[in-house]
Chain A
Amino acid sequence: MAKYILQRIIYMFITLFIIATVSFFLMKLLPGSPFAMEGKLSEEQLELMKARYGLDQPIPVQYFNYITNVAQGDLGVSFQFDNREVSTLIMKKLGPSLQLGALALGFGMVVGMLLGIAAAIKHNTFIDYGSTFLAVIGKSIPSFVFAGMLQYYIAVKLGWLPAAFWEGPRYMILPTIALAMFPIATAARFMRTEMLEVLGSDFITTARAKGLNSVLVTFKHGLRNAVIPLITVVGPLAVALMTGNLVIENIFAIPGLGEQFVKSITTNDYPMIMGTTLFFSFLFIFIVLVVDILYGIIDPRIRLAGGKD
């Protein structure tokens, strides 16, 4: 197990290194200068600006500086946001994004799980079809369409909830629901399949043969076995949530990382783009790693199989 974790961590760093390298060189290929839109700068001023950001040095030197800085957690300074440190900006904007992501993930997993369980227990009934239908809809309808609908009908037309910003629990409801649709759908589908498989397995019959009542069998023997693998969907969901975050934060004007990222794209703020990209990658890889380790710890089959070597 320890060997496995170590191997995974090494991979994580290789991947991050590659992302940093690739994004650095891609940025160098980009057409257009970040300073162009700051108005009419004279040649001299431009040279001065370049020197200030180290852009006058040969590319290999720039690359080396960049990698060493990144390794120390220094992601450079933003061109746009008053020359502030990228890492500071990210940390500052991280709060709302993490809140939204965690809310959507938690809400989505719980609702999806319940839907999936209900569908499996009431297999081939109205509940099952309804839950399956909801899962297909949730998986299919793009988050921006759904968010737009919610915002238009619930916030604008009915005025029940605020249509934008992130200033308290009431502001969190619509964005969370909009972002949670995908996790709900994913968890519901996964849970239903898993639960049906578990409920049809031999050990459930064994438990029934012991004379335990069916409710106890379903929840004590079935649920546990079906829920554990649900952890594995968290990794893929993390990416979906990051993608969703960009959209939802823009629609609901939430001052988070996603909104800032989109802004930095439209303003060619390279250090900000690269920094956020690296940060997203790190977050994603880290979540996947934690999920894998957690899964190993929780599932006795994997825990002990891994423990032997």
Chain B
Amino acid sequence: MEKILDVKDLKVSFDTHGGEVEAVRGVNFHLNKGETLAIVGESGSGKSVTTKALMGLIPSPPGKIKNGEILFEGKDLTKLSDRAMSKVRGKDISMIFQDPMTSLNPTMKIGNQIMEGLIKHQKMNRSKAKSRAIELLEMVGIPDAKGRINQYPHQFSGGMRQRVVIAIALACNPKILLADEPTTALDVTIQAQILELMKDLQKKTETSIVFITHDLGVVANVADRVAVMYAGKIVEVGTVDDIFYNPQHPYTWGLLGSMPTLDDEESELAAIQGTPPDLLNPPKGDAFAARNQYALKIDTEEEPPMFKVSDSHYAATWLLHENAPKIELPEAVKKRTQGFASMGASNDDGKGDTK
């Protein structure tokens, strides 16, 4: 499988009054052509900062990319000037944001907001860009696109606005689409519509998608592969099957355990105790140790490396070391992984078999 994006040891930090905060502390992942990679984690785990770094949109100052490479089709985006990067943005890599209520310019007509990118990257004239904009609006399922192109954002509902945002992102047929929690701010029914739309559009356009979310339900629905982020690091990465059927990192267990399911009335939600560490002074060793009920002595002393579980599946926990005690999966998680497995068997829509 061809890699379209390869992120190596990415570190992003922000200067604050209190000192330097390392929001992303050495992240490695790659994105294959045409696949959807979901990045999952709590708020503050560094997901959004990672995507902003991919777009070259880290506000600087106070933020900066301290280390690492972002290889897009072989060239390192971190080395590009802002000018060169602006040619990549919106054309090769584009982005969908979390809150459709604020991510559109309130004083500018929808049509113009879509056309801007087309005029800049594809050198279209206005009338051509306009007809393309109408086409895009129709593609994302906005009725009466011709009339609505002259309307302002506040005349659209939240779901409709998110469709507009998607249209803007897809305007120049980007190779990579970064979706930063695109459904979080929407009603559940609208969420489902937007997810369907994105899956649909991906089939049509063969775009690779990085999907940021904290909702494992959404992950199961859209992703091919999953990366679990915690405290600015990726702690486990694998295919959807790997993560849902055979999770290895205690944090992943915690996430799965805290996911509500309908089929089992008895099982309680197992919340992860505590709060994420303060990245102003990251703890020594494994950042998750303080909240990990399976913590080992070594967790407080040394950071775990990525252990290989299978060709597609890696996890950063000392529990995978040969000397570590063998741990039984917690009951709640076990039940869920079994539940997913049975659901997956009966309800497999072809997502699970992607490598």
| A–B proximity contact (CB within 8 A) | yes
Closest-by-CB residue of A relative to B171 is A210
B107 & A211 in contact (Cβ 8 Å cutoff): no
- Checking A124, A202, A210, A225 against B99 with a beta-carbon cut-off of 8 angstroms, the contacting residue is A202
A211-226 toward B: CB 8 Å interface, digit per residue (1/0)? 1111000000100110
List residues of B whose CB falls within 8 A of some A CB: 55, 57, 61, 82-83, 86-91, 94-95, 97, 99, 102-108, 113, 116-117, 120-121, 152, 154-155, 165, 168-169, 171
A206 & B88 in contact (Cβ 8 Å cutoff): no
B-side contacts of A300, CB under 8 Å? 106-107, 152, 154
Quick check: is A232 within 8 A (CB to CB) of the other chain? no
A211 & B90 in contact (Cβ 8 Å cutoff): yes
A240-261 toward B: CB 8 Å interface, digit per residue (1/0)? 0000000000000000000000
Minimal beta-carbon separation of A70 from chain B (angstroms): 42
A209 & B106 in contact (Cβ 8 Å cutoff): no
Quick check: is A305 within 8 A (CB to CB) of the other chain? yes
Among all A-B residue pairs, the 10 with the closest Cβ atoms: A211-B90, A211-B89, A210-B90, A202-B102, A210-B117, A202-B103, A203-B105, A209-B95, A300-B152, A211-B86
B168 & A221 in contact (Cβ 8 Å cutoff): no
21 A–B contacts, CB within 8 A, in A order: A202-B99, A202-B102, A202-B103, A203-B103, A203-B104, A205-B97, A206-B97, A206-B165, A206-B168, A208-B55, A209-B94, A210-B90, A210-B117, A211-B121, A213-B86, A214-B82, A228-B107, A301-B106, A301-B154, A304-B152, A304-B155
A237 to B171, CA, bound (A): 45
Minimal beta-carbon separation of B54 from chain A (angstroms): 11
- Checking A124, A207, A299 against B105 with a beta-carbon cut-off of 8 angstroms, the contacting residue is A207
A-side contacts of B82, CB under 8 Å? 213-214
User: With A208-B57, A212-B116 in contact, do A221 and B83 touch (Cβ < 8 Å)?
Assistant: no
Minimal beta-carbon separation of A216 from chain B (angstroms): 9
A201 to B107, CA, bound (A): 13
B-side contacts of A225, CB under 8 Å? 105-107
- Checking A209, A221, A228 against B89 with a beta-carbon cut-off of 8 angstroms, the contacting residue is A209
A209 & B90 in contact (Cβ 8 Å cutoff): yes
A-side contacts of B116, CB under 8 Å? 207, 210, 212
A210 & B94 in contact (Cβ 8 Å cutoff): yes
A212 to B114, CA, bound (A): 12
User: With A300-B154, A304-B152 in contact, do A211 and B105 touch (Cβ < 8 Å)?
Assistant: no
Minimal beta-carbon separation of A136 from chain B (angstroms): 22
Closest-by-CB residue of B relative to A209 is B95
Closest-by-CB residue of A relative to B101 is A202
B103 & A212 in contact (Cβ 8 Å cutoff): no
B-side contacts of A207, CB under 8 Å? 105, 116
Closest-by-CB residue of A relative to B85 is A211
A-side contacts of B57, CB under 8 Å? 205, 208-209
A interface SS class: helix
Which residues A110-141 have CB closer than 8 A to chain B? 124
A206 to B167, CA, bound (A): 12
A224 & B107 in contact (Cβ 8 Å cutoff): yes
B168 & A210 in contact (Cβ 8 Å cutoff): yes
From B61, B88, B154, name the one whose CB has the most chain A CB atoms within 10 angstroms. Answer: B154
User: With A209-B57, A211-B91, A214-B82 in contact, do A221 and B108 touch (Cβ < 8 Å)?
Assistant: yes
User: With A301-B152, A304-B152 in contact, do A206 and B117 touch (Cβ < 8 Å)?
Assistant: no
Closest-by-CB residue of A relative to B88 is A211
User: With A202-B97, A304-B152, A304-B154 in contact, do A212 and B104 touch (Cβ < 8 Å)?
Assistant: no
Minimal beta-carbon separation of A300 from chain B (angstroms): 5
B-side contacts of A201, CB under 8 Å? 102
B-side contacts of A299, CB under 8 Å? 107
Further pairs besides A206-B168, A208-B57, A211-B88: 10, Cβ < 8 Å? A201-B102, A202-B99, A203-B103, A206-B103, A206-B104, A213-B82, A213-B86, A301-B107, A301-B154, A304-B154
From A201, A205, A209, A214, name the one whose CB has the most chain B CB atoms within 10 angstroms. Answer: A209
A166-208 toward B: CB 8 Å interface, digit per residue (1/0)? 0000000000000000000000000000000000011101111
A208 & B154 in contact (Cβ 8 Å cutoff): no
A301 to B155, CA, bound (A): 9
Minimal beta-carbon separation of A221 from chain B (angstroms): 5
A238 to B94, CA, bound (A): 46
A291-309 toward B: CB 8 Å interface, digit per residue (1/0)? 0000000011100110000
A-side contacts of B103, CB under 8 Å? 202-203, 205-206
- Checking B55, B61, B120, B152 against A212 with a beta-carbon cut-off of 8 angstroms, the contacting residue is B120
Minimal beta-carbon separation of B84 from chain A (angstroms): 11
- Checking B89, B102, B120 against A203 with a beta-carbon cut-off of 8 angstroms, the contacting residue is B102
- Checking A124, A211, A228, A301 against B120 with a beta-carbon cut-off of 8 angstroms, the contacting residue is A211
Closest-by-CB residue of A relative to B91 is A211
A300 to B107, CA, bound (A): 6
A221 & B105 in contact (Cβ 8 Å cutoff): yes
A-side contacts of B168, CB under 8 Å? 206, 210
A209 to B58, CA, bound (A): 11
Closest-by-CB residue of A relative to B102 is A202
